[in-house]
Structure 1
Amino acid sequence: MAERRRGAALEKALLDAAWEELAAGGYARFTMDAVGRRAGTSPPVLYRRWSDRDELVRAAIVHALEEQRVPTPDTGSLREDVLTLMREINATRVRFITVMNVHLAGYYQETGNSLGDLFTTGGEDTGDVLFDRAVERGEIDPRRLTERVKSLPFDLLRHEILTTYAPVPDHVLEEIVDTVFLPLLR
């Protein structure tokens, strides 16, 4: 007989199962029953933690993002920090980004809710750390550092990935940083 899971171990198993279910069938086929089957438990166990499937979807995404968190680079320059971070995302997260966007299209259509706010959940935002360091070093003008500008290189990276469903060539990453992003900050 399998050992009974409790507390954090149970929650991790449930969220892992929810993410796997979401990745396998997308939002349209995502149900509490399917997650319960995949986790080897019953729907009431899920409903004690999450009131509905949308709440569970959001929790599963936050969990997956935490599991996929990329270390914050510290190279001594904003250019190299952003490129290092983009290269790490490009090398390790193409499938994750694809799953997030393709399988969650139904979530956007059905609920009208964006999941963009989830990408900075769970502690200090990596981008903010990079930008704070760059301001401290005097590399960039903080008045030009809007939320849109901060997200721009990563939005363009995601766009490139979703255009080809493949890693982006390094010269394209450099072009995004050098010709589009950095000129906006200086």
Structure 2
Amino acid sequence: MDEQKKGTRRRGEILEEAIMNATLDELDQTGYAHLTMEKVADRASTNKAVLYRRWSNKSELVIAALHKFIPKIKREVPDTGNLRDDMYVYLQALIEPLKKVGAQTIRGLMIEPTVWRNLAAAIAQIPSGKWENKLTAAMMAIMKNAEKRGEVCLERLSPRIISLPVDLLQYELITKQEISDTAVAEIVDEIFMPLIRYSQTADK
């Protein structure tokens, strides 16, 4: 729709807010597969040329909208009093924003070539040898709390074991494009905690 003809020309943040809201509405009502730049423009009462000046394709537009409105992943480290519950609460906090995005949208984004190219470029810029990032730092904080309580001895745990729950969560997302509460419980109770218990008793 031509804003100039309607006399409702908008600029800057006001226009962007309308476009972002229209994008989320389209995702909710039609899904990622059927979302088009034209439909978003029509819903936002603008024209698609306005969108293409800011975003080169629908995946960039959707990612921008999700980044603006979807709650950010919480970085707080839980301290429930035991390792099992700390790990479960932390993993649940990680997947909560993904539930709001929805499996269909995640699946659609992950098959977009531009998304994979951007992801590969971002990975290439990560300095080699830097094992610790925000997620692994949080995992280490959880494990240090557990060590203070006498639940684990960190010297008996490799970085790979400590990062395992997050690694499995990422694998679940890549292969299934969604992460269920059941999957989180299985990662914690059937894989991570038994491995922790084994690592603390092996070779004693």
Give the TM-score normalised by the residue count of structure 2.
0.56
Q: Percent identity?
A: 21
In 1, the alpha carbon distance for the partners of 2:117 and 2:102 equals 13
Aligned to 1:127: 135
Asked whether the 8 Å contact 1:145–1:185 carries over to 2, the reply is no
In 2, the alpha carbon distance for the partners of 1:3 and 1:151 equals 48
In 2, the alpha carbon distance for the partners of 1:91 and 1:54 equals 21
Q: How do 1:132-143 and structure 2 match up within 5 A?
A: 132-134=140-142, 140=154
Aligned to 1:73: 76
Are residues 1:86 and 2:91 paired? yes
Tell me: CA distance 1:132–1:147, structure 2 relative to 1, closer, same or farther (3 Å).
closer
In 1, the alpha carbon distance for the partners of 2:198 and 2:169 equals 15
Aligned to 2:31: 26
Q: Deviations over 1:158-181 (max 9, x none)?
A: 589868x8643885364154236x
**Unaligned 5+ runs, structure 1:** none
* SS at 1:28 equivalent: coil
Q: How do 1:26-65 and structure 2 match up within 5 A?
A: 26-64=31-69
- 1:84 Cα deviation after fit: 1.3
Q: Partner letter of residue 42 of structure 1?
A: N
Q: Partner letter of residue 69 of structure 1?
A: K
In 1, the alpha carbon distance for the partners of 2:138 and 2:88 equals 11
Which of 111, 114, 120 aligns to 2:113? It is: 111
Which of 20, 23, 29 aligns to 1:15? It is: 20
* SS at 1:68 equivalent: coil
Q: Partner letter of residue 193 of structure 2?
A: D
Q: Partner letter of residue 16 of structure 2?
A: E
Q: Partner letter of residue 53 of structure 2?
A: R
Greater RCO, CA 8 A, separation 6+: 1
Tell me: CA distance 1:6–1:72, structure 2 relative to 1, closer, same or farther (3 Å).
same
Q: Partner letter of residue 72 of structure 1?
A: R
Give the TM-score normalised by the residue count of structure 1.
0.60
In 1, the alpha carbon distance for the partners of 2:119 and 2:83 equals 24
More displaced stretch, 51-60 vs 169-178: 169-178
In 2, the alpha carbon distance for the partners of 1:71 and 1:83 equals 14
In 1, the alpha carbon distance for the partners of 2:23 and 2:199 equals 40
Aligned to 1:172: 186
**Unaligned 5+ runs, structure 2:** 1-5, 123-132, 148-152
- 1:144 Cα deviation after fit: 2.2
* SS at 2:78 equivalent: coil
Larger radius of gyration between Structure 1 and Structure 2:
2
- 1:15 Cα deviation after fit: 2.3
